Amino acid sequence: MSSTTEEDPDTAARSREAALLGALVDLTATLVADYDVITVLEDLTGYCVDLLAVDAAGLVLADDRGGLQVMSSSTDHAQELELFQLRSQEGPCVEAYRSCACVDAGDLARHGHRWPRFAARARELGIHGVHALPLRCRTSALGALNLFATTRRELPVADLQAAQALADVATTVLLQQRTLDEANRVTEQLQTALDNRVIIEQAKGALSERGGISADEAFTRLRRYARARSLKVTDVAHAVMSDTVEAAVLLAS
């Protein structure tokens, strides 16, 4: 008779799928609220350890110059090995980022010839299996998700698919943050332009009144004065409104 305490395989599979779905829902829920990217990435690596057959996880991202930087690690050994990869420029993580493809090295002993320094350092840290998945963005990658095992272990296909799904969520979070940052910059630039236009209009009105000239002529003299001194029209307009430039000199330009 089978033990009643053993979980039915179908029940275990459904529980795991529910846990993965819960993680994806939790991570994507941040996209509709104000969120901290670092916290989301830390949560993501934590979910990898909880849901997949791995002992540690980490995530690296490419900076503006294309260099990889460690963003999150679930253990000190994972972080140390990630940093070693980046310093030595060899290892599954670097390869996954460059190739934009999943790199499986469940038994590092069989891949020592590919990354000799990395494999040696991993053994010293007690890590014997590594899987790296790209944070895919069209034909390139924003970084890589790294999964570490303390035993030689090939990940089941379902685990690799789940890991790629989590990596894709990370990509979505990063792209949304980038879009929000760009949108904020555009909004700020637009507001600055609007504010500057108000100042210029005010300066035109002031010069028009003081010089008895039209607003168009006042603007022409503002621009002429600015160009002659390699200044921005906006800066000259501010100077006019703060009385730091003599109106008579500007009107005579």
Q: Residue 21's domain is classified under what CATH number?
A: 3.30.450.40
**For the chain, how many structural domains are there in total?**
2
Burial class (CB in 10 A: 0-12, 13-18, 19+), 38: exposed
> For residue 193, is pLDDT > 60?
yes
**Rounded CA separation 248/45 (Å):** 66
pLDDT digits (tens, 9 = 90+) for 158-183: 888 888 888 888 888 777 766 666 65
The CATH number of the domain where 205 resides is what? 1.10.10.10
29-33, 98-102, 185-189, range with the lowest pLDDT: 29-33
- The phi and psi torsions of 153 (rounded to 5 degrees) equal -155, 120
The pLDDT value given to residue 201? 85
Residue with the bigger pLDDT between 91 and 32: it is: 91
Containing domain of residue 171, as a range?
Answer: 9-177
pLDDT digits (tens, 9 = 90+) for 78-96: 999 999 999 999 999 999 9
24, 109: one domain: yes
79, 131: one domain: yes
With the C-alpha atoms ordered 158, 160, 161, 162, is the resulting torsion angle positive or negative?
Answer: positive
* Average predicted confidence (pLDDT) for the chain: 82
Return the DSSP state at 7. Answer: P
> For residue 144, is pLDDT > 80?
yes
